[in-house]
A and B are shown apart, each in its own frame.
Chain A
């Protein structure tokens, strides 16, 4: 009964994978820094995941989905590297102010909290890879070191040193912003 098999599989996939949609989308937003690219990547990720669900043997759904999303995003990076080459040659592009020095708009106290989240997101966005993804997987997606290692296909030791680097870079950016606001 191939039809009912497929439906059963689809139903199991739905129950196993859909609860992580926000997690996958969050990672995609940080990796791609663009809402519509992130949507496309997440949709592609779920299509591929469903296709390969037969071969999924665990151990956990979240790192497995993240590993697929990374592959999708890497393809997107490759595409961008191709189409962005011209932009990076534009004179002055290299002189652009770093993200965390951009806050010229007068900070009003009552909106400070939301602006803070936005500012922190920007600082995280500005982190270099592969440090950013390790940081997001740990701090925002709440993966354990072992799960991160599994999702990114690197040893746990590498995950630990990347995470230390990422946090050091983020703190440096953070301090720089606070100095600037003062």
Chain B
């Protein structure tokens, strides 16, 4: 390596931009060349001082306000009315989600990972003795059981009359967090409804995905994420979610 090359590459070394092989070459040159060693030491010192000095500027509040005002204002916190409107907006929202912006893609990758955790949790629950922590067909028993065990207790709604029997609740772990699972039965099939808290209060319409032969329908509402997982058919699972949502809305409004 010549000194001319080293004088450029030593910056890449300082910035941690070199792969191991090139880093070794530059280090070897510096070790053998006093001039480049001096330059490297001086640049490292300057970089250290620069890093200790605040050289950034903060955008003035007035500029921030002007820019925010120039971006069309989206809906504020969804009121109940706009949550309802959200249902009608479902297809437009899905179309947007498919439009391929990186942020959205990343979030979906994240969701893919969480989906696989949800399905794994469902599978675990089907093993003997893992399904239910609190056995009850009474929502007024299951709901209080969650209190104090989770930041947010999941809504527990009895859908027996609608053909989905509430059989109990369970604590589970998804995405390294404890979350609530409410367990329903349809004939001999188990439906796990996982509920976790989310920062987003925006309504996300239900969407079915299939993984390892299980159907998973997920949606988001009122700061909660829901995943319903089962081996029942997609139609039946949609029916379950529709009935659950209808009952939840009735609860909130009633």
Contact = CB atoms under 8 A, between A and B. Distances in A.
A177 B95 CA distance: 58
Nearest to A161: B8
A16 interface: yes
A60 B102 contact: yes
Contact of A50 (B12, B66, B71): B71
Interface string B1-27: 000000111011001010000000000
Interface in B42-75: 42-43, 46-47, 49-50, 53-60, 63-64, 66-68, 70-75
B58 A12 contact: no
B89 interface: yes
A4 B89 contact: yes
A124 B55 CA distance: 10
Contact of B103 (A12, A25, A161): A12
Contact of B58 (A5, A11, A25, A60): A25
B101 A12 contact: yes
A78 to B, nearest CB: 23
Contacts of A102: none
Contacts of A38: 57
Interface residues of A, number: 55
B73 to A, nearest CB: 7
A60 B66 CA distance: 24
Interface string A49-70: 0100000111111000000000
B12 A46 contact: no
A140 interface: yes
A26 B53 contact: no
A12 B200 CA distance: 13
B47 to A, nearest CB: 7
B252 interface: no
* Interface size range of chain B in the complex: 35 or more
Interface stretch (A80-88, A92-100, A103-111, A115-123): A115-123
Given A8-B92, A145-B17, A171-B46, A117 B59 contact: no
Contacts of A127: none
A6 interface: yes
Contacts of A22: 56-59
Contacts of A144: 17
Contacts of A76: none
Given A22-B56, A43-B63, A59 B74 contact: no
B102 A140 contact: no
Contacts of B63: 21, 25, 39, 42-43
Interface string B187-220: 0000000000000000000000000000000000
24 contacts: A8-B74, A10-B71, A10-B73, A12-B101, A13-B71, A14-B71, A21-B63, A21-B67, A23-B56, A25-B63, A26-B56, A50-B71, A57-B101, A57-B102, A59-B102, A120-B53, A120-B55, A124-B55, A138-B15, A139-B47, A163-B11, A170-B46, A171-B42, A174-B46
* 9 cross-chain pairs, A with B, having the tightest CB-CB distances, nearest first: A58-B102, A11-B74, A25-B59, A10-B72, A7-B74, A164-B8, A26-B57, A29-B57, A21-B59
Given A15-B103, A22-B59, 16 more contacts: A8-B74, A8-B96, A10-B71, A12-B103, A14-B71, A26-B55, A39-B59, A42-B63, A43-B70, A56-B101, A58-B101, A58-B105, A117-B54, A139-B50, A163-B11, A174-B46
